[in-house]
């Protein structure tokens, strides 16, 4: 047995204790990692891989997958004769992956939440607060939809190439950074995932590769969703690991872009979250709001539902449950439900902006 296997295995235990410590000290993470060394790490990785037109991270995962299959087959053929060596070899690999994951990106899970970063006091909201924000979002959706179609009965159809949508998302962050410098995004690059078909069956619209800092977008989704997905993944690149934070920052990037398409994409997403929240609070208000959604917008929502229904399969819930556990293990106590925190952030942001 190689000595480094034992050392790496022991180091895994040290790492777990250190990560547990960081969970309790978000100010430390915010100061020394998220606003300290991480921006340099992220910029370097994007500089290194961003110019390559395809996803290096996706190919990396493919090669790692082949290597793991080879290792498993080799282990089975040996009939696990040297189980002690295999155990330490396996845990050493886990230790290295765990270390790189956190060093290159994962420590961002333990930073201060976005509401503290942007000075947005989150309070328990009333149905009146929720209705007011939903009303504003509905008006924004109506206006941006009409500007894009000149007809409120037809859906928004995007004929732009993906590269233009990705570039527009990059530009949106350069504008947002003027208001929030901490959201600066050098060497920006969004890529379409080589695994878009598997992602569709798994129920995911995009992801960030923490080892290469590449923002991956499922290019098969309806195109009007691409901007908000891209800006969401860019938020992860910038260093906001929590899904609720990335949702909200992606929304901010789109509405500050002065790009009608990006605004429509973001407001459509935000409106959907707020309507879902209203549904569980007051079904009468929900019905009244839904009846005011233009037919063309409803057709876009319908297009989205049809897309995900097309790829629905028996394994999807298992992928979602696994991801839910992953989020909970990384300081997101509500798991997948964390995405809906954007409603509280939208209300807090609206109140703050209304006071100006």
As a whole number of angstroms, the distance between CA 344 and CA 352 comes to 12
Q: How many other C-beta atoms can be found within 10 angstroms of the C-beta atom of residue 326? A: 12
As a whole number of angstroms, the distance between CA 348 and CA 122 comes to 6
For 45-67, the DSSP string reads HHHHHTTSSS-HHHHHHHHHHHH
Residues 41-61 have a mean pLDDT of 94
Q: How is the beta sheet containing 190-192 ordered, strand by strand?
A: 190-192, 214-217, 206-209
> Within a 13 Å sphere around the CA of 18, how many CA atoms are in the beta-carbon half?
13
As a whole number of angstroms, the distance between CA 273 and CA 228 comes to 13
As a whole number of angstroms, the distance between CA 124 and CA 126 comes to 7
As a whole number of angstroms, the distance between CA 334 and CA 341 comes to 10
Element (H, E) at 328: helix 316-329
Tokens of 41: 């790490």
**Which of 17, 57, 19 lies closest to 213, judged by CA?**
57
As a whole number of angstroms, the distance between CA 41 and CA 235 comes to 15
Mean pLDDT over each residue of the chain, to the nearest integer: 89
Tokens of 20: 């547990």
pTM for this one? Answer: 0.91
Residue 280 banded pLDDT, cuts 50, 70, 90? confident
Higher pLDDT, 270 or 121: 270
pLDDT at 322: 53
* Domain range summary for the chain, segments of one domain joined by +: 3-110, 114-354
Q: How many other C-beta atoms can be found within 10 angstroms of the C-beta atom of residue 120? A: 20
Residues 201-227 have a mean pLDDT of 95
Alpha helical stretches, state H, 78-218: 83-104, 114-117, 127-149, 162-179, 196-202
For 300-332, the pLDDT digits (tens) are 999 999 999 999 877 666 655 655 565 555 555
Phi, psi (degrees; rounded to nearest 5) at 188: -65, 140
Q: Is 150 exposed, middle or buried (0-12, 13-18, 19+ CB in 10 A)?
A: exposed
pLDDT at 333 over 50: yes
For 143-172, the pLDDT digits (tens) are 999 999 999 999 999 999 999 999 999 999
Tokens of 236: 């992860």
- Say how far residue 109 (Cα) sits from the centre of its chain: 12
């Amino acid at each position: 047995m190689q000595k480094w296997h034992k050392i790496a295995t022991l180091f895994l235990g040290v790492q777990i204790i250190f990560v547990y410590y960081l969970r309790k000290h978000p100010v430390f993470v915010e100061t020394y990692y998220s606003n300290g060394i991480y921006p340099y790490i992220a910029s370097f990785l994007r500089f290194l891989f961003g110019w390559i037109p395809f996803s290096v991270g996706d190919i990396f995962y493919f090669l790692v997958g082949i290597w793991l299959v080879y290792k498993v087959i080799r282990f089975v053929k040996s009939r696990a004769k040297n189980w002690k060596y295999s155990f330490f070899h396996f845990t050493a690999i886990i230790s290295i992956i765990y270390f790189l994951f956190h060093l290159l990106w994962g420590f961002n899970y333990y930073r201060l939440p976005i509401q503290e970063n942007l000075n947005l006091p989150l309070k328990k909201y009333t149905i009146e607060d929720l209705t007011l924000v939903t009303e504003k979002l509905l008006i924004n959706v109506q206006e941006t939809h009409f500007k894009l179609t000149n007809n409120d009965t037809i859906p928004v159809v995007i004929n732009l190439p993906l590269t233009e949508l990705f570039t527009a998302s990059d530009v949106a962050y350069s504008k947002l950074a003027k208001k929030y410098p901490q959201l600066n995004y050098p060497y920006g690059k969004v890529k379409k995932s080589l695994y878009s078909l598997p992602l569709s069956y798994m129920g995911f619209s995009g992801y960030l590769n923490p080892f290469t800092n590449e923002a991956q977008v499922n290019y098969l989704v309806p195109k009007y969703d691409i901007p908000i997905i891209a800006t969401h993944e860019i938020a992860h690149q910038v260093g906001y690991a929590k899904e609720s934070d990335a949702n909200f920052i992606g929304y901010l990037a789109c509405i500050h872009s002065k790009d009608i398409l990006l605004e429509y994409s973001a407001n459509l997403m935000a409106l959907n979250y707020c309507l879902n929240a209203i549904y569980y609070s007051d079904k009468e208000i929900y019905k009244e709001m839904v009846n005011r959604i233009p037919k063309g917008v409803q057709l876009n929502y319908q297009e989205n539902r049809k897309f995900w229904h097309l790829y629905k399969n028996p394994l999807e819930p298992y992928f979602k449950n696994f991801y839910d556990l992953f989020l909970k293990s990384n300081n997101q106590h509500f798991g997948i439900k964390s995405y809906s925190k954007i409603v509280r952030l939208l209300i807090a942001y609206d109140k703050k902006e209304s006071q100006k």
